[in-house]
Chain A
Amino acid sequence: MQVPILKQRDYLIASIQAALTDADLLQLRDALVSQVGTYRSRGVIVDVTALDVMDSFAVRTLRDLAHMIRLRGAETVIVGIQPEVSFAMVQLGLTLEGVSTALDLEEGLAYLDKKLRITAPPSVKKRG
């Protein structure tokens, strides 16, 4: 099952629609890491609202994804982790350290807007 990736403003938004296999997850990671360069995106949002399980593989893949995207010069935020899923994750000791999280897509966008505005380089005026 392929995850659709939308491009909106400076951001890439991947909304996971259904349970993903390990191969799907790796494909998502690779697609985002590649497209973030293609579209010169500054932020990536991965919406996991539809996931009812985040096991060690899923968490590790998302963490790797976030770190790889940071190395490519963009910020990642994981949004929509369900309360039950987060409970199970911490029981397993999977805390997504060093990865930003937000409640939902809206909060994720607000987070990136705020974060990237602060770190944005001074704008260069076009002459003419």
Chain B
Amino acid sequence: MHSQETTVPVNADIDIVTARQKGRELARDLGFTSTDLALIATAISELARNIILYANSGEIVLSVVENGSRRGLKVVARDDGPGIPDIERALEEGFSTSRSLGLGLSGVRRLMDEFDIVSEVGNGTTVTVKKWRL
């Protein structure tokens, strides 16, 4: 039974650090390899940074997911920001409207096993990613 969720509010750059550290702890408890821990922590860092950059505030929700005998980590990054008008374009390699390196979303997709994004202009963005244990 792993119904518990950890929610990290993301309002300032210190929260980026908190979110990725919490994610790393949970992933370590799940038995991910050290390489996976680095991939997961980096992905959470990018997601949290996107919230700060584009929406100013939001939250990262971490939880354990199961699929048959496999277990994994689910990360949901949610904000009530302006939303993304063109998701396809936002996922293109190197696309960015902000001052970041522009590897944000497409990079996160590469680090994780599953990637899903829902965004509505004016109604915020929710990115859900999962990483499964090998």
- A120 close to chain B: CB less than 8 A: no
**Max chain A CB contacts within 10 Å: which of B24, B37, B39?**
B39
Which residues from B are CB-within-8-Å of A87? 35, 38-39
Tally of chain A residues near chain B (CB < 8 A) = 24
Task: Assess whether B107 is in contact with A92, with CB atoms less than 8 Å apart.
Answer: yes
8 Å CB contact of B16 from A22, A88, A89, A93: A22
Instruction: Please give, as numbers and ranges, the residues of chain B lying within 8 Å of A22 by CB-CB distance.
Output: 13, 16, 49
- B-contacting 9-mer, from A7-15, A29-37, A49-57, A98-106: A49-57
- Check A23 against B13 for contact (C-beta < 8 Å): yes
Inter-subunit contact B49/A91 (CB<8 Å): no
Q: How far is the CA of A93 from the CA of B110 in the complex (A)?
A: 10
What's the count of A-B pairs with C-beta under 8 Å?
Answer: 72
Contact of A60 among B14, B34, B39, B101 (CB under 8 A): B101
B residues adjacent to A (C-beta < 8 A): 13-14, 16-17, 20-21, 24, 34-35, 37-39, 41-42, 45-46, 49, 93, 100-101, 103-104, 107, 110-111
Interface of A with B (CB < 8 Å)?
Answer: 19-23, 52-57, 59-60, 82-85, 87-89, 91-94
28 A–B contacts, CB within 8 A, in A order:
A19-B17, A20-B17, A21-B13, A21-B14, A22-B16, A22-B49, A23-B13, A52-B24, A52-B41, A53-B42, A53-B45, A54-B42, A55-B42, A55-B45, A55-B49, A56-B101, A59-B101, A82-B38, A83-B35, A84-B34, A84-B37, A88-B39, A91-B107, A91-B110, A92-B42, A92-B103, A92-B107, A92-B110
